A and B are shown apart, each in its own frame.
Chain A
Amino acid sequence: MFETSMTLSDLMFLAKGAGMTIAVTFFAVTGGTVMGLLFGVIRAQISPWAALPLTFVLDVFRSVPLLIQLVLANAFQAIAGLNLPPFATSCIILALYTSAYCTEIVRGAIDAVPMVTRRAARSLGLSWGQDMTYVVFPMALRVALPSWIGLTLGVLKDSALVLWLGLIELLRSGQILVTRLQEPMFILLVVGLIYFLLSFPIARFGSQLEKRWREND
């Protein structure tokens, strides 16, 4: 069907783009998860009213298009004279974006641990920290992990938007090849296949994990 003038070095170029996609995703998910854990524990501990400012800010990250967030952040860092490279700006915004979703996952997972279980733990003389470490987190992890895997894959896909700040990630490197080789469908199919290969196995793993855990309950 396709006779292509795409060469091995073009493929390497795409692989490099995929590397960028993975790097951005890695930093965003790592940073976002750390922040999400922190915010999530805070959200679960204090009253909804006290958490309102935090809830509002995080909600903004989920209600404004990521593209707009990236442009705004980039403009802001220029105004503030921070001279951040686009890679750093992208990672920071994506991390905050990730943390907004991660917070909800963490809070939901902690809330899913029955109060009686926690009371029982505290009645045995466990401190708040011990209760959290030995009772709440192991139980909450089961609830949170499938959603967290979903979030990670979401960020992997959403990271394509950093091309707007000039980063040459997977989709952008594909677009560059399209311009050069004029074979849009074939090259985009290759790009899509790479995304699919990155995402699908993990998605399958996540849903199987979820199924297995649900059956064991």
Chain B
Amino acid sequence: MFTYTFQWRQAWQKIPLLLDGALVTLEIALLSMAMGVAFAVILAVARNSKSRWIYAPATVWVEVARNTPALFQIYMAHFGLGSFGIHLSPYIALLAGITFNNAGYLAETFRGALRAIPGTQLRAARSLGMPQTQAFRLVIMPQMFRIAFLPTTNQMVWAILMTSLGVTVGMNTDLAGVTQDINVRSFRTFEIFALAAVIYYLIAKAVTLGARLLARRMFRY
């Protein structure tokens, strides 16, 4: 059945290249998460707005992000904007697509977290003489971030996995892109992609583990 001889040595030598790619992968994931969290907070607040002009665009963003493929969102950034003469590089298109996706999912996470905090907490804070914004900042936000922390780290893992989609729009510096580049030149598809898979797995596990340790330090209550 197997007439194929595996050539691991050749793939093994490419490890440094793959690790360089892994750094780019991490970079994109972290950037997209940082921006995603910022947009998500705005979206979560905007979706509670009474003004239709604020509420509607935020809702469209969230629903499109959640109801279309991430790859579609990246295509929109890369190919779609071409209709308006905007041509984003694969890197920027990938970053924009994942950021859009992260923000949509995280906005729902934050909204759910806000709802999970009893309204009596705000009343208690207001009763102590705190203005609305101060009560929100000192009492509600810290609790919201705790509830949202684990779902947010899950989204971080998703962001890492999503970076692999960049290869479909010509990205060639992240882990998937580098892997595909080597593959095209060596045709050792299985070996090189297997190595990439291991690296992705280790990154995902490291992020999950790191997040858990961080949570234990940050949330002692």
Chain A–chain B contact at Cβ < 8 A:
yes
A binding-site residues for B, Cβ under 8 Å: 60, 63-69, 71-72, 75-76, 79-81, 153, 157-161, 163-164, 171, 174-175, 178, 183-186, 188-189, 191-192, 195-196, 199-200, 203
Complexed CA–CA distance, A191 and B163 (Å): 22
Query: Smallest CB–CB gap between B132 and chain A, Å?
Result: 28
Residues in B whose Cβ lies below 8 Å from that of A65: 161-165, 176, 200
Asked whether, in the complex, the Cβ of B201 is within 8 Å of the Cβ of A164, the reply is no
Query: Smallest CB–CB gap between A193 and chain B, Å?
Result: 9
Residues in B whose Cβ lies below 8 Å from that of A79: 2, 4, 190
B binding-site residues for A, Cβ under 8 Å: 1-4, 63-64, 66-72, 75-76, 79-84, 157, 161-165, 167-168, 176, 179, 189-190, 193-194, 196-197, 200-201, 204-205
Query: Smallest CB–CB gap between A40 and chain B, Å?
Result: 20
Given known A-B contacts A72-B190, A185-B81, A192 and B68 have beta carbons under 8 A apart: yes
Could you tell me the dominant secondary structure of chain A's interface residues? helix
From A68, A79, A164, A184, residue with most partner B Cβ within 10 Å: A68
Asked whether, in the complex, the Cβ of B82 is within 8 Å of the Cβ of A184, the reply is yes
From B84, B161, B193, residue with most partner A Cβ within 10 Å: B193
What are 24 residue pairs bridging A and B, where the CB atoms are less than 8 Å apart in the complex?
Answer: A63-B201, A65-B162, A65-B176, A66-B161, A68-B197, A72-B190, A72-B194, A72-B197, A75-B189, A79-B4, A79-B190, A81-B1, A160-B69, A160-B72, A175-B79, A183-B83, A184-B80, A185-B76, A188-B80, A191-B72, A192-B64, A199-B67, A200-B63, A203-B67
